[in-house]
Amino acid sequence: MLSATFRNRNGGAYLEPGLRQVFLFIGADPNTAWLGGCVDVDERGFVATGKQFPSRLDIGRAPFELETSRPGVFAIGDVRAGSTKRVAAAVGEGAAVVAQIHQALAYAR
C-alpha cells in the first residue's frame, strides 16, 4: 500500500496514513500579503470582491461582481473570496471579467 508522510505544522507530529487515492489541492492559503492593504481581503486573506468588501466607496454605482474594494481593480480565480477554487471556474471568471472591465471603462467616461 502507498503512503504519504504529513507533518502537523502546529504541533510537529508526523502521520503516515495508507493511501488509495490522492487529490493534490494547492492554493488553499492565498498569497496576498504583497497587496499590503491595497484592496480589502477577508479574515483568511482572500480578496473580497463585489458586495463582499466591508468598506463602501462612493463611486456612484454598485461594484461589479469581480471588482475589488478599489474601483477598476478586479480579482479572479483562487485568490478571490468565495471562488470555487477550480481551474475551470477561474477560466470562466477570466472570461467574465473582460465584460466587467468594459462596463467599468464605459461608466468612467
Interval 30-40 mean pLDDT: 91
Query: Burial code of 7-38, b = ≥16 C-beta within 10 A, e = fewer?
Result: eeeeeeeeeeeeeeeeeeeeeeebebeebeee
The per-residue pLDDT for range 10-31, each reduced to its tens digit, is 999 999 998 887 776 666 788 8
- Would you state the pLDDT for residue 27? 62
- Would you state the pLDDT for residue 22? 74
More confident residue, 78 or 54: 78
| Residue 54 pLDDT > 70 | no
**Domains of the chain, start order:** 29-108 (3.50.50.60)
Alpha carbon distances (Å) from 53 to 47, 56, 58, 75: 9, 7, 13, 12
| Residue 58 pLDDT > 70 | yes
